[in-house]
Amino acid sequence: MRKYLLLLCFFSLLNLAYAQDMQRVRSHVNTLCSPAMQGRGYVNQGDKIAAAYIGNAFKQYNLKPFRGDYFQHFNIDINTFPGNVVLKSNKQELKPGIDYIVDPASGPGKGSGLLFLLDTAIFSDVQARTRFLESRLNNKVLVYHSRDRVKLAALPEVVYFKMQEAKALIELQDGKLTASLATEQFNRPGFKVLEESFDLTAKRISYELDANLVKNYTTQNVIGYVEGKVQPDSFIVITAHYDHLGRMGEEVYFPGANDNASGVSMMLELAAWYAVPENKPDYSIMFIAFGAEEVGLVGSRYYTQNPFFPLSQIRFLINLDLLGTGDGGLMTVNATVFSEAFALLEQVNRQGDYIHPLAKRGKAANSDHYFFSEKGVPAFFHYTLGGITAYHNVHDIPETLPLTKYSQVYKLLKDFIAALQR
Q: Which residues pair with 224 in a beta bridge?
A: 287
CB of 85 to Zn ion, least distance (A): 23
**Which residue, 171 or 259, has its beta carbon nearer to Zn ion?**
259
CB of 206 to Zn ion, least distance (A): 34
CB of 322 to Zn ion, least distance (A): 6
Interior/surface letters 255-270, b for 16+ CB within 10 angstroms, e for the rest: bbbbbbbbbbbbbbbb
Q: Which bin fits 392, alpha (ψ -120 to 50), beta or left (φ > 0)?
A: left
CB of 37 to Zn ion, least distance (A): 15
Secondary structure (3-state) at 63: coil
**Which residue, 144 or 302, has its beta carbon nearer to Zn ion?**
302
CB of 293 to Zn ion, least distance (A): 6
74 with 220: CB under 8 angstroms? yes
Q: How far is Cα 339 from Cα 341, in angstroms, rounded to an integer? A: 5
Stretch 267-296 residues interacting with Zn ion (CB under 5 A): none
**Which residue, 33 or 348, has its beta carbon nearer to Zn ion?**
33
Widest pairwise Cα distance in the chain:
92
Per CB under 5 A, the segment of 40-48, 224-232, 252-260, 387-395 that binds Zn ion is: 252-260
Q: How far is Cα 370 from Cα 254, in angstroms, rounded to an integer? A: 24
Q: How far is Cα 305 from Cα 375, in angstroms, rounded to an integer? A: 10
Per CB under 5 A, the segment of 14-22, 45-53, 70-78, 260-268 that binds Zn ion is: 260-268
Nearest to 334 by CA among 369, 306, 300: 369
CB of 208 to Zn ion, least distance (A): 30
Give the per-residue SS3 of 113-141: EEEEECCHHHHCCHHHHHHHHHCCCCCEE
**Which residue, 61 or 372, has its beta carbon nearer to Zn ion?**
372
Letters for 311-340 (x = contact with Zn ion by CB under 5 A, - = none) are ----------x-------------------
Nearest to 324 by CA among 30, 5, 1, 7: 30
Per CB under 5 A, the segment of 79-87, 176-184, 257-265, 381-389 that binds Zn ion is: 257-265
CB of 280 to Zn ion, least distance (A): 30
Stretch 393-412 residues interacting with Zn ion (CB under 5 A): none
Per CB under 5 A, the segment of 72-80, 195-203, 256-264, 380-388 that binds Zn ion is: 256-264
Please report, as a single letter, which amino acid is at residue 291.
G
CB of 241 to Zn ion, least distance (A): 6
Looking at beta carbons, which residue is closest to Zn ion?
259
- CA atoms within 13 Å, Cβ hemisphere of 410: 25
Which one of 72, 80, 260, 313 is in contact with Zn ion (CB under 5 A)? 260
Which one of 243, 259, 269, 415 is in contact with Zn ion (CB under 5 A)? 259
233 with 284: CB under 8 angstroms? yes
CB of 395 to Zn ion, least distance (A): 15
CB of 242 to Zn ion, least distance (A): 10
**Which residue, 269 or 321, has its beta carbon nearer to Zn ion?**
321
Torsion angle defined by CA atoms of residues 422, 66, 226 and 320, in that order, rounded to the nearest 10 degrees: -80
**Which residue, 186 or 383, has its beta carbon nearer to Zn ion?**
383
Nearest to 385 by CA among 301, 328, 308: 328
What is the total count of residues that contact Zn ion (CB under 5 A)? 3
Q: Does 210 bind Zn ion (CB under 5 A)?
A: no
**Which residue, 107 or 324, has its beta carbon nearer to Zn ion?**
324
Q: How far is Cα 102 from Cα 86, in angstroms, rounded to an integer? A: 10
Binding site for Zn ion (CB under 5 A): 259-260, 321
